[in-house]
Copies of this chain bind each other. A is one copy, B any other.
Amino acid sequence: MDQDGALPVQVPSAVRAALLAPLVDHHCRGVRRDELDRARFETLITAAGTPAPPGTTHFDTPLGTAIRRWCAPVLGLDPHAPPAVYLARRAELGPAEANGRLLRAAGVVAFLVDGGPDGGRDGELLTAAEMGRLGGAAADEVVRLEPIEEDLAKEGPTAVGYPRALAERLADRASRAVALKSVAACRHGLDLDPARPGRGTVIAAAGRRLARPGEPLTDPVLLRHLLWTAVDVARERGLPLQVHTGYADPHADLTRSDPALLTGFLRALRPTGVPAILLHCHPFHRQAAYLAGVLPHVYVDVGLGPARAATGSAAILGELLELAPYHKLMFSSGCHGAAETSHLGALCFRRGLARVLAARLGEGEWSTADAARVAHMLGSGNARRVYRL
């Protein structure tokens, strides 16, 4: 990371060093390996999944402005380059060079990469190993739960054999992972009965589900069963469980994505000792911060929130720091598709946290040592501890 102008405020040098130190990005997706034309690029920088309405552009968002401001210089352009100029330069450099520059600019020491719906097999996105190589960082795999079940369903197990087959499959995939991740919020919502469903209930639900094996997993009983099977595996292997919460894409329902809906499940999870990490959380990050404050095994990040909000990142991080213990907050970029979201995830986290810490330092409320230590904890220390990196 370029050290000049990177932070928006003056902070003592120890705090500056802590803020600019390498980050552990404990949750990201791969970035696209191919060249991106404007239509494709625009689709990658929005959660809408659709082109902007006629006469408008997805560059007209806080994230889009941040790309023009902060990523343009990484590609050798002046800040605030127009979208067309930016994309022309990106094409000129080619995807490998552009991706490499942006990933390295993020200043990340380790990427924990969710392979996504198909575990990265379609080949469009860089694998974890490639993310690490291109970004000059270590890389590990986060295994997404639901696609494993969906693959299994297509193979046609019997309903009676489903629980065991699922457990074995999860255990196998987990053997190469540093964490498991649930996107139940996007399949059904987090308003799930927290209790582990009984074997008979699961087999009955599996019977119905296996009659339409090509469909996504949306059955609440089977989603719960998957979660609890994952808990068994996570406990066995000492892995944390990531759970997507808060905003996602137009298919998810925000009223069913509040992490507070997980309260019962998180309470039930506690005796297992499996850490739970609430991902993204916005606009429910205060609720998530509360849960991280009262439940010893619960952690929180705000994922792509800072990059999406850009200058607004300080407000989001400030709200997290109303309640969350410093040892429970982690950085992730939540990046996906466009390498810009990796760079900006890191940059906007650092800039937002710099503002939050500067406010505490300026009025003498925190010592320099406190601020530097907390910046290290959030940026990498907590993730190293929880993920045993």
Please tell me which one of the listed residues B253, B263, B264 contacts residue A263 in the complex, with CB atoms under 8 A apart. B253
Contact among B5, B310, B319 with A315 in the assembled complex (CB-CB below 8 Å): B319
Which one of A51, A80, A323 has the greatest number of beta carbons of chain B within 10 Å? A323
A267 and B252 CA atoms in complex are apart in Å by: 11
Contact A287 B295 (CB under 8 A): no
Asked whether any CB of chain B lies closer than 8 Å to the CB of A258, the reply is yes
Cβ–Cβ contact A283 & B286, under 8 A? yes
Do the beta carbons of B260 and A255 come within 8 Å of each other? yes
In the complex, A61 Cα to B290 Cα: how many Å?
12
Beta-carbon contact of B365 and A325 below 8 Å: no
A79-B364, A327-B52 given; A254·B290 CB < 8 A: yes
Q: Does the CB pair B65–A363 fall under 8 Å?
A: no
Contacts of A322 in B (CB 8 A): 62, 282, 305, 308-309, 312, 315-316
Residues of chain B within 8 A (CB-CB) of A263 are: 253-255
A368 to chain B, nearest CB (A): 9
Complex Cα–Cα for A359 and B323 (A): 24
Q: Which residues of B contact A370 (CB under 8 A)?
A: 65, 80
Q: Once the chains are docked, how many angstroms separate the CA of A290 from the CA of B363?
A: 31
A interface residues, Cβ below 8 angstroms from B: 5, 8, 46-53, 55-58, 60-62, 65-66, 69, 79-80, 247, 249-250, 253-255, 258, 260-261, 263-264, 267, 282-283, 286-287, 290-291, 293-297, 305, 308-312, 315-316, 318-319, 321-327, 359-360, 363-367, 369-370, 374, 377, 385
Residue numbers in B under 8 Å from A359 (CB-CB): 311
Cross-interface CB contact of A364 among B5, B57, B283, B291, cutoff 8 Å: B5
Hey, which chain B residues are within 8 Å of A374, CB to CB? 60
The docked-state distance in angstroms from the alpha carbon of A295 to that of B51 is 10
Please determine whether A48 and B255 come into contact, CB atoms closer than 8 angstroms. Answer: no
Distance, CA A316 to CA B8, complexed state (A): 22
Given contacts A290-B283, A365-B311, is CB(A326)–CB(B249) below 8 Å?
A: no
CB distance from A291 to the nearest CB of B (A): 8
- Would you call B311 and A250 a contact (CB within 8 A)? no
Q: Verify B367–A80 contact, CB threshold 8 A.
A: yes
User: In the complex, which residue of chain B has the Cβ closest to the Cβ of A46?
Assistant: B293
